[in-house]
Structure 1
Amino acid sequence: MKRRDFIQLSGMGLGAMMGASIPVLGNMVPVEHLLEPGADIATKKRLADIALNATKSRGATYTDVRIGRYLQQFIFTRETKVQNIANAESYGVGIRVIANGTWGFAATSDVTPDGIAKCAETAVAIAKANAKIQKEPVILAPQKGVGEVTWKTPIVKNAFEIPVQEKIDLLMKVNSEAMKNGAGFVTSNLFFVNEQKYFASSDGSYIDQDVHRIWPTFTVTAVDKAAGKFKTRDAISSPMGMGYEYLDGLASEKISAPNGLIGYRNSYDMVEDAIMASKQAQQKLTAKTVPAGKYDLVLDPNHLGLTIHESVGHPTELDRVLGYEANYAGTSFATLDKWKTKSFNYGSKQVNIVADKTQPYTLGTVGFDDEGVPCKEWDLIKDGILVNYQATRDQVNILGENASHGCCYADNWNSVQFQRMPNVSLRPGKEKLSVFDMIKGVEKGIYIIGRGSYSIDQQRYNFQFGGQLFYEIKNGEIVGMLDDVAYQSNTQEFWNSCVQICDKDDYRTFGSFFDGKGQPSQVSAVSHGSATTRFNGVNVINTGRKI
């Protein structure tokens, strides 16, 4: 076996070991290759025009071309050792057309004039073959071409330019400090992604985008050998649409929280969090088990983001509502008949949830989606009422709208683009309210921080969520740590129990770096913002109870 093949297979194997949601896309390359410039804009425009002309001459009424170079660097460590470093590149062209009222798609890694012309011919041939069984023609919302434009994630430091040794040194320090402060085991990882995407369409758009994302994370484990117990605490970090400045303190911004906890916004001190995590994992070993019952919950943004993702983000995807995702991931309780009434109480009047692909530093933010639509913000839930969904150019006509929401995405040049979740966030409260003030008003409650295990049904309605850290609240004060906590509810009941939201000074984001959807499966990255939020009278169960 050649060394390159071994590295590629071992990288993929580790990705599988870490979970199927961590894909290494493309070919393994030397690290210095990640900094080599790709094709210039003039070359990409010339190649795109070859595809546009070839599909038009063969009867396509619409064409879009995506020339993509996708770069990844993933670093995995455990205690004193580097387990793996994966440097990957994927480069090619995807061509999507409408011919005879039907979609067709083809892709190629042969990025030459001849290779692109053949790919274009194939895309049209597939569309015409599909048209024989198409029942209704595709209806695209109009989209005016934007001409030649560029957009780039506003990074300060390109993570790929930072030497690998510097990144390893950071992870080794994270691991060392965690072990010094009581961790029995620790794993730490860095994920960096750069999407260099060129989009051209028969509408007259030529869009060049350079998208960067970063995710630092770890898990520490504390062990009580005498009792035969162990407890873990994951990083309280959020993946971001930023460069390496997220880790070097240039954008340092911390938010104080009760019990000496720290929230991070637009910056992250990985070493500081690892030290705190080790101490908290040890505290969890002796934490009191929770008595089951009804509690008022105070949910930190790093926790609430996942609940937003699962109970609001997914059920408002229009393709899921229409049943297109039923085979893979289920449908949605938020059906069209509920939306049509304009009075369906998804949540209380405090609940205002927006879809937004323009918010700075977030994972889903780009200038244009993968259909060339300028990105924007729009309401999903307004004053508690379901008012809209997430839709693409070929879906919005179902809603009676004539403009796409700009939430179309493909995870690679060889993947066909389709509706993917934009950033979905809960607006902060308008009145001045800190976490400390919120807790003062709680008589019997639990303050929950961090993402834990969860489950939710196929309609995104009945659910159960855990977390990383749980603190008991009595008569307005935190009195100690709890363990074995999970809360159960259904989506409508839960969001209608929302009574308070902290103001914009507490607003932070949570993120999902590898969110899966579709068949064949694709991944996307999406953020969810919120301030700390209070929900009254939620059912809490004890997950450690023996049955």
Structure 2
Amino acid sequence: MKRRDFIQLTSMGVGGLALSHIPVFGNPISPEVALEPIDLAVKKRLADAALNAAKSQGATYADVRIGRYLQQYIFTREKQVQNIVNAESYGVGIRVIANGTWGFAATNNVTEAGLAHAASQAISIAKANARYQQEPVQLAPVKGVGEVSWRTPIVQNAFEVPVAEKADLLLAANAKALENGASFINTSLFQINEQKYFASTEGSYIDQDIHRIWPTFSVSAVDRSTGKFRSREALSAPMGMGYEYLSKPGPKIAGPAGTGLQGYNKYYDILEDAVLAAKQAKAKITAKSVQPGKYDLVLDPNHLGLTIHESVGHPLELDRVLGYEANYAGTSFATLDKWKTKNFKYGSKQVNIFADKTQPGSLGYVAYDDEGVKTKRWDLIKDGVLVNYQAIRDQAHIIGEPESHGCCYADHWSSVQFQRMANISLAPGKTKLSVDDMIKNVEKGIYIAGRGSFSIDQQRYNFQFGGTVFYEISKGKIVGMLEDVAYQSNTQEFWNSCAAICDESDYRMFGSFFDGKGQPAQISAVSHGSATTRFNGVNVINTARKI
């Protein structure tokens, strides 16, 4: 692909600082060029060149991923647009098995000759690695699907919306926050489009067009007389959707009485959230500091999603269980011996947690993973008992699975695909239960919404989580805002304290847009669904108190 017509808009200090923490792949590109498609017939011809070269040199299996990755990031602060990034990366990753061993190579020379050369490199690497391979790779079977195409079911492609219109929306949110008591506000809009073409020697030619979006902000309020300040983050969730997530605010899920909070799922009203964020950030300055002790916690889905991610999603990745992640991000307490007992109590009987790559609107929603495996839903924890893990083709035999779970992913054409977290969600309760009804049964508790600081050990067992906003519950009612709240527990103790879950009418998704794993590090996007959930007798600490 030729790089051309790069449009660089205003670039300022804080926006540049923000970009240093956000992955940007590839080269600058104009929004107009980003909309130009790549012909399917061209991609098939290129893939066949690589597959034929691999087979002719001894590959017993080969797959090709032709990837075009588009990113558009918009950053604003108060009345200014700080930075706009438009980036594109285009290239090919080729994976082979030769002499029972994996080999991988990648190239941005997207020609038939370039792909054939990369295939030869992958073969050479596999044969060199075979000298040290103790057991041959065992792939769970996958039937080729022929030529298929799939696209995230979006209503409006965010890349087709003029940049000025999107920047104006962010600036309007800033203005709303400033009008309602905010001293500062930063807003961002992240948009991702992955155009991925997968082909394998098993007869699959799969074209997928994947879209994700994440509007977010951070509001701060300052008391000039005391110098105290507090912040409140956006309560949006990154979604596998188009611009309709922002442009069509619709029905919302009411939060508990006395909080003013709204639950956003299908659509997000950034203006409404910015107004409430400003008011809550200001109120947090004078909010009562929590008294440490045992509390019943009522956790909003936008908060609980992060706890699910860290204490269930990661520890049930099979490669982590097997120790492959030990050097970078730890292992897992949920070892194979616990699973083999068939009665390991991960949580209470109310806890049913499933993996699902087919949830519409989720960040992980695709039809096929990066091994050409059709995605699906499967149980991880059933009635509180650990029943399964997340496994890909070369891991399935380890846990006696006849097929891959379809959760293999690479974040870029130059990255090798490996096991990544699927959407991991807590099933809603089966009995009708609203948030207010749940709170009525709480004598001494705290309602927590939004994400905050967190810490978890290298085996995903002992942890501490904060949040964005906290409300005290006394004798079945919300009685006021709290501050300085964090709760501590271990994974098994925490999930066994789960006492009640609201029904499906309260079910929503939280998301992680930049979830890191592996060496070299890769990122992925994943959602976690749940309804509001109560956990009894959890230890709460005061984060402001000095020892």
TM-score, length basis structure 1: 0.97
Match of 2:432 in 1: 432
Matches within 5 A, 1:123-138: 123-138=122-137
Matches within 5 A, 1:100-179: 100-179=99-178
Match of 1:84 in 2: 83
Q: Distance in 2 between matches of 1:232 and 1:508?
A: 24
Q: Distance in 2 between matches of 1:79 and 1:493?
A: 43
Q: Distance in 2 between matches of 1:413 and 1:12?
A: 31
Give deviations 1:115-169, integer Å, cap 9, x for gaps: 1110111010110011111111110001010111111000000000000000010
Q: Distance in 2 between matches of 1:278 and 1:15?
A: 21
Match of 2:200 in 1: 201
| Residues 1:323 and 2:323 are matched in the alignment | yes
Shift of 1:7: 8.7
**Native 8 Å contact 1:73 1:88 kept in 2:** yes
Match of 1:276 in 2: 276
Give deviations 1:100-128, integer Å, cap 9, x for gaps: 00000000000001111101110101100
Closer, same or farther in 2 for the Cα pair 1:124/1:243, shift >3 Å? same
Q: Distance in 2 between matches of 1:21 and 1:237?
A: 20
**Native 8 Å contact 1:252 1:268 kept in 2:** no
Q: Distance in 1 between matches of 2:421 and 2:117?
A: 32
Closer, same or farther in 2 for the Cα pair 1:140/1:33, shift >3 Å? same
SS at match of 2:132: coil
**Native 8 Å contact 1:15 1:24 kept in 2:** no
Q: Distance in 2 between matches of 1:31 and 1:208?
A: 22
Shift of 1:428: 0.0
Runs of 4+ residues deviating >6 angstroms: 3-16
Q: Distance in 1 between matches of 2:103 and 2:147?
A: 25
Match of 2:226 in 1: 227
TM-score, length basis structure 2: 0.97
Shift of 1:258: 2.5
Q: Distance in 2 between matches of 1:461 and 1:527?
A: 21
Unaligned regions of 5+ residues in structure 1, if any?
none
SS at match of 1:324: coil
**Native 8 Å contact 2:249 2:268 kept in 1:** no
Match of 2:463 in 1: 463
Closer, same or farther in 2 for the Cα pair 1:15/1:330, shift >3 Å? farther
Shift of 1:320: 0.4
**Native 8 Å contact 2:215 2:238 kept in 1:** yes
Give deviations 1:501-531, integer Å, cap 9, x for gaps: 0000000000000000011101000000000
Closer, same or farther in 2 for the Cα pair 1:326/1:283, shift >3 Å? same
Shift of 1:250: 6.0
Match of 1:337 in 2: 337
Letter in 1 for 2:391: A
Match of 1:377 in 2: 377
**Native 8 Å contact 1:12 1:24 kept in 2:** no
SS at match of 1:106: strand
Q: Distance in 2 between matches of 1:18 and 1:394?
A: 38
SS at match of 2:362: coil
Closer, same or farther in 2 for the Cα pair 1:310/1:136, shift >3 Å? same
Identity %: 73
Match of 1:539 in 2: 539
Q: Distance in 2 between matches of 1:14 and 1:207?
A: 40
Give deviations 1:437-456, integer Å, cap 9, x for gaps: 00000000000000000000
Shift of 1:19: 7.2
Shift of 1:12: 12
Letter in 1 for 2:498: C
Shift of 1:401: 1.2
Closer, same or farther in 2 for the Cα pair 1:211/1:252, shift >3 Å? farther
Match of 1:303 in 2: 303
Match of 2:96 in 1: 97
259-268 or 60-69: bigger deviation: 259-268
Q: How many residues align?
A: 544
| Residues 1:52 and 2:47 are matched in the alignment | no
